[in-house]
A and B are shown apart, each in its own frame.
Chain A
C-alpha cells in the first residue's frame, strides 16, 4: 500500500526566503505526482503535475522535482511571500489505479 509522507509538518519563514518542501513515497511504481495548495477552509488548488518520466516542472516561482527511484519529490518556492502561506500537499497517482494518495501536508507560514 502506497504511503506518502511530508516533512516538515509545519514551517515558518521570513518573507523573501527560498524554501524547500519535501515529499516521500514508499512505492516507486507511480504514474505521476501532483502538488496542491490548500488555503484554510478552501479546496485544493493544483500547482504542478510531474509525470513519472519527468525530473522537474516549473511554474513561476515554483519548481517541483521528482526522483522516482528514491521515492522523493521536492517543491522549491523562490523568494517566498506572505501570500504563499497555506498548506501544501503532495499526492501520487499509482500505476495500479487512477487514484491519488495524499501526504499529510506541510503548513507554511511566511512572515512579513
Chain B
C-alpha cells in the first residue's frame, strides 16, 4: 500500500480564500484523523472519523473549518475563509481500527499570506 496520501503537499494562498486539503487513507482503515502542527502548539487533533462518521470535532478551531468524509477512501478539510494564523502543517492519519496503530501522511504545508 502507498500509505496515507495527502494533497497538495504545499499550498500558498491569500487571506480570505478558500482552501481544501485532501486525504486518501490506507485501504481498509476505518479510522481517519486530521491533525495540525505548529511550532507554538505542536501536534493537535482537529477531528476524527470512524467508519466515515465524524466522532469528535472538538479540536476544530472555529466555524471556518469543516471536514468531510464522503466515503472510506477520501476525506477533505476545508478552511473558508483562510487567515494567516491558519498557516501550519496539516496531517492526515488513518488506523485499521479504533485504538490501533496510526499511520500518518506526509502532510500539507499551508501558508496563508
Q: By DSSP majority rule, is chain B's interface helix, strand, loop, or mixed?
A: strand
Q: By DSSP majority rule, is chain A's interface helix, strand, loop, or mixed?
A: strand
Chain B residues numbered 36-92 whose CB sits less than 8 Å from any CB in chain A: 42-45, 48, 50, 55-56, 91
Q: Is the CB of A99 within 8 A of B33?
A: yes
- A side interface size, CB within 8 A: 23
Q: Which residues of B contact A32 (CB under 8 A)?
A: 99
Cα A42 to Cα B91 with chains together (Å): 10
Q: Is the CB of A98 within 8 A of B50?
A: yes
Contact with B along A48-72 (1 / 0, CB 8 A): 0100000000000000000000000
Contact with B along A10-26 (1 / 0, CB 8 A): 00000000000000000
Q: Is A78 engaged at the interface, CB distance under 8 Å to the other chain? A: no
Q: Is the CB of A93 within 8 A of B106?
A: no
Q: Which residues of B contact A (CB under 8 A)?
A: 4, 31, 33, 42-45, 48, 50, 55-56, 91, 93, 95, 98-99, 101-107, 109
Q: Which residues of A contact B (CB under 8 A)?
A: 31-32, 34, 36, 41-46, 49, 89, 91, 93, 97-105
